Amino acid sequence: MSQAAEPMQTVHAVTQTPYKWGFSTDIEMELAPKGLNADIIRLISARKEEPEWLLEWRLKAFAAWQAMAEPHWAHVAHPPIDYQDLHYYAAPKRKPGPASLAEVDPALLATYEKLGIPLKERAILAGVEPAEGEGAPVAVDAVFDSVSVATTFRATLAKAGVIFCPISEAVREHPDLVRKYLGSVVPQGDNFYAALNSAVFTDGSFVYVPPGVRCPMELSTYFRINARNTGQFERTLIIADVGSYVSYLEGCTAPQRDENQLHAAVVELIALDDAQIKYSTVQNWYPGDAEGRGGIYNFVTKRGACRGARSKISWTQVETGSAITWKYPSCILQGDDSVGEFYSVAVTTNRQQADTGTKMIHIGRNTRSTIVSKGISAGRSDNTYRGLVRIMPKAAGARNHTQCDSLLIGDRCGAHTVPYIESRNPTARVEHEATTSKIAEDQLFYCRQRGLSEEDAVNLIVNGFCKDVLKELPMEFAVEAQKLLAVSLEGSVG
């Protein structure tokens, strides 16, 4: 029963503070004026000391965005967003290159302490390189509002030949790689929010793993929205060269505010021959209060291209936060025998709305994909799985299996499933299964009868329901995810 006990401790610990990451940091910020126009884009580009080609690239995206309309096909509803009422650039003011902890803004350090990132790492986050051999096994890139504030373990990674740095730095240090791959998976005009991101993105992580290298540690980015009235538009680009492997983790939080904040990120993954990318997300943006006030609009485009033969991209996500989630991590399976995976747990409570799923585009021969989606709706929330499996004519021998389960807790919420299956090759095999149910009375009874409280019982059952996804997460993340599930559902039972 220890599986249930641990989440429950967390539940009790947070009873008074339902969203414990809801503080904001009072830190000196540099803000661009509100609004979006070509001049703001020039300002962002100038602040980041970008080359001319990137400015052109951004302006092209901006032109495309202006000609596009906001999409409304998702099963979500929100008041109109005024895109001119946002700051498109916000950065903590910092003197260049702090040599020691003393030079780092103490408020920034305090933020990471509150977020629970270990002290040693915080020192690193603040820009102090660790002594060899004593580091935590995870390299972290922390993005505070629009800019990357610190990246850890750079030296260790450099020894292996792995590049892990803020994308703004990659533009300067590795322009050929960035220019070759940026926008090659998600083009500037791909969709409304991707176009917006392409025009105004300010930072994000860049990863390049050279041929044959197995990245020696997990890479991680920690996103934090802090400033008021800002949007966060980060851009992540991960390239796994021939025969390489990398596991990448992403975590996110934001302060608790009554107004909504926009997060429109783009993530591009590229896997060449025999390369593997494992991308895990625990998304815990501020979801708004019980009445649906405030919270993050999480409108994200994530897509991976399995360019090479036998390459593999695996997405795992645990989505508990955000007022609205609109997100479909996808795999384009171009290389023969390439593999795409999508494992997702999406929890919505109160007034949250989630419309999330994946796309698996089978282009190469013998390509395989697996989709496991677990949706949990509670309170007055709406939770939609929307997924596409497309088999192109040349994808002989392609194979997909999709399992989509929804769990309803309470009678005021909604659970929806919208799969799209398109097959144009007779030798392909596609299977889709979906179920919707509530927690069975007999399961609850069985647990209660063995002395578990109702809340413990529900947690145990929910954890079991999500097991197929949670087991895909790296260990540290799996523990955090289990706690999050318990916290998210706290109060929605009984």
Contacts of 171 (CB under 8 A, 6+ apart): 48, 50, 51, 54, 178
| Single residue of 220, 417, 459, 482 touching another protein by CB under 8 A | 417
Name which of 49 and 411 has its Cβ closer to another protein.
411
Contact characters 369-408, another protein, x per CB under 8 A: ----------------------x-x------------x-x
Helices (H), 283-352: none
Verify binding: residue 420, another protein, rule CB under 8 A. Answer: yes
Closest separation in Å from C-beta 351 to another protein? 15
Burial class (CB in 10 A: 0-12, 13-18, 19+), 425: middle
CB nearer another protein, residue 137 or residue 494: 494
Among 416, 443, 468, 476, binds another protein (CB under 8 A): 416
Report strand pairing: 138-144 vs 147-151.
antiparallel
Read off the tokens for 48: 């980041």
Asked if 424 touches another protein (CB under 8 A), the answer is yes
Using CB under 8 A as the binding rule, whether residue 15 contacts another protein is answered as: no
Tell me which stretch binds another protein (CB under 8 A): 3-11, 139-147, 292-300, 425-433: 425-433
**Closest CB 384 distance from another protein, rounded Å:** 9
User: Shortest distance, CB of residue 97 to another protein, whole angstroms?
Assistant: 52
Cβ pair 335, 365 in contact under 8 A = no
53 is an interface residue for another protein by CB under 8 A: no
Length of the chain: 494
Residue with smaller CB distance to another protein, 28 or 433: 433
Q: Is 295 left (phi over 0), alpha (psi -120 to 50) or beta?
A: left
Nearer to another protein, 259 or 431 (CB): 431
Nearer to another protein, 98 or 410 (CB): 410
Q: Residue 157 and residue 318: Cα distance in Å, rounded? A: 27
**Dihedral sign computed on CA atoms, order 50, 51, 53, 55:** positive
Q: Based on CB atoms, which residue is closest to another protein, 129 or 433?
A: 433
**x/- track of binding to another protein for residues 426-455 (CB under 8 A):** xxxxxxxxxxxxx-----------------
What residues form DSSP beta bridges with 408?
A: 377, 438
User: Which residues lie closer than 8 Å to 210 by C-beta, 6 or more apart?
Assistant: 161, 162, 241, 244
**In terms of DSSP H, where are the helices of 126-243?**
154-160, 167-173, 175-181, 192-200
Region binding another protein by CB under 8 A among candidate stretches 24-32, 44-52, 106-114, 420-428: 420-428
Q: Which residues bind another protein (CB under 8 A)?
A: 73, 391, 393, 406, 408-438
